């Protein structure tokens, strides 16, 4: 092998090592999520309120790959360590920039998602939630610009860094019951 070829190979290897080391910013976000809750298996019932697409997006590759995912809670968080009440059966309706509309319902731990296989939306998206009888349909006042995880923006209590959790009613006490012990998202 000529010196010029060796130099080209070494340079190519250096570029692969320097560029191909993953995504450090996403690695930090994944690490910050912590481990699974003991007694809750990874499934559509795990990690309510966390950014689903950090792992279920193209980078981490967890199955299924999601187009959008999130959690709906009963009432807004008041403090950082609030206990949350997820709401089952909330109808989440999303419409993309091509006017394609998809609907998903929340499960017993409040999670909903649409897989990338079922929908590859054209951002931005419009969103609305219908929490059922006795509640008002809530429309998101802004568009979802590009993040498929609701928790990329909606985390914990409302403050200057977050609009807060996505919730059904703006009341001090939840009119919704929490998940039963038979919900796979409740630690056993």
What domain count does the chain have? 1
In a domain, residue 83? The reply is yes
In a domain, residue 175? The reply is no
- Section 137-154 average pLDDT: 92
Q: Which of 24-28, 117-121, 131-135, 169-173 has the lowest mean pLDDT?
A: 24-28
Beta-sheet strand order (sheet of 138-139): 101-105, 91-95, 126-130, 138-139
Distance CA 127, CA 8 (A): 51
pLDDT band at 16 (very low <50, low <70, confident <90, very high): very low
Q: Which two tokens stand for residue 113?
A: 């998602």
In a domain, residue 52? The reply is yes
In a domain, residue 14? The reply is no
Show the CA angle centred on residue 92, arms to residues 87 and 95, nearest 5°: 165
In a domain, residue 178? The reply is no
In a domain, residue 49? The reply is yes
For residue 30, the model assigns a pLDDT of 78
Name which of 185, 179, 58, 36 is nearest 120 in CA terms. Answer: 58
Q: What is the pLDDT of residues 47-95, one digit of tens each?
A: 998 999 999 988 877 899 999 999 999 988 776 666 789 999 999 999 9
Asked if 74 and 85 count as a contact pair (C-beta separation under 8 A), the reply is yes
Name which of 108, 111, 104 is nearest 150 in CA terms. Answer: 111
Domain that holds residue 104: 24-33+41-167
For residue 10, the model assigns a pLDDT of 55
In a domain, residue 153? The reply is yes
Q: What is the pLDDT of residues 111-131, one digit of tens each?
A: 999 999 999 999 999 999 999
pLDDT band at 1 (very low <50, low <70, confident <90, very high): low
Asked if 71 and 152 count as a contact pair (C-beta separation under 8 A), the reply is no
In a domain, residue 174? The reply is no
- Mean per-residue pLDDT over the chain, rounded: 86
Distance CA 167, CA 87 (A): 9
Share of the chain above pLDDT 90, in %: 50
pTM: 0.82
- Section 83-109 average pLDDT: 95
For residue 76, the model assigns a pLDDT of 85
DSSP element (H, E) containing 12: helix 3-19
Residue 101 has pLDDT above 80, yes or no: yes
- Phi then psi for 147, rounded to 5 degrees? -90, 125
Q: Which residues pair with 159 in a beta bridge?
A: 162
Residue 118 vs residues 32, 66, 76, 101, 158: alpha-carbon distances, Å: 29, 9, 30, 12, 32
Residue 17 has pLDDT above 50, yes or no: no
């Amino acid at each position: 092998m000529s010196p010029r070829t060796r130099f080209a190979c070494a340079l190519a290897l250096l570029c692969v090592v320097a560029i191909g080391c993953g995504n450090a910013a996403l690695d930090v976000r994944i690490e910050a999520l912590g481990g699974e809750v003991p007694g809750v298996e990874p499934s559509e019932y795990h990690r309510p309120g966390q950014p689903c697409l950090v792992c279920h997006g193209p980078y981490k590759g967890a199955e299924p790959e999601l187009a959008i995912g999130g959690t709906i809670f009963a009432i807004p968080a008041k403090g950082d360590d609030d206990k949350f009440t997820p709401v089952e059966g909330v109808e989440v309706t999303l419409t993309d920039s091509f006017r394609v509309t998809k609907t998903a319902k929340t499960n017993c731990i409040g999670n909903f998602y649409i897989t990338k296989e079922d929908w590859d939306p054209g951002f931005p998206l419009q969103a609305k939630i219908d929490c059922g009888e006795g509640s008002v349909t809530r429309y998101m006042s802004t568009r979802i610009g590009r993040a498929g995880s609701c928790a990329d923006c909606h985390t914990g209590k409302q403050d200057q860094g977050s609009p807060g959790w996505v919730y059904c009613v703006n009341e001090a006490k939840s009119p919704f019951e929490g998940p039963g012990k038979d919900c796979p998202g409740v630690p056993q």
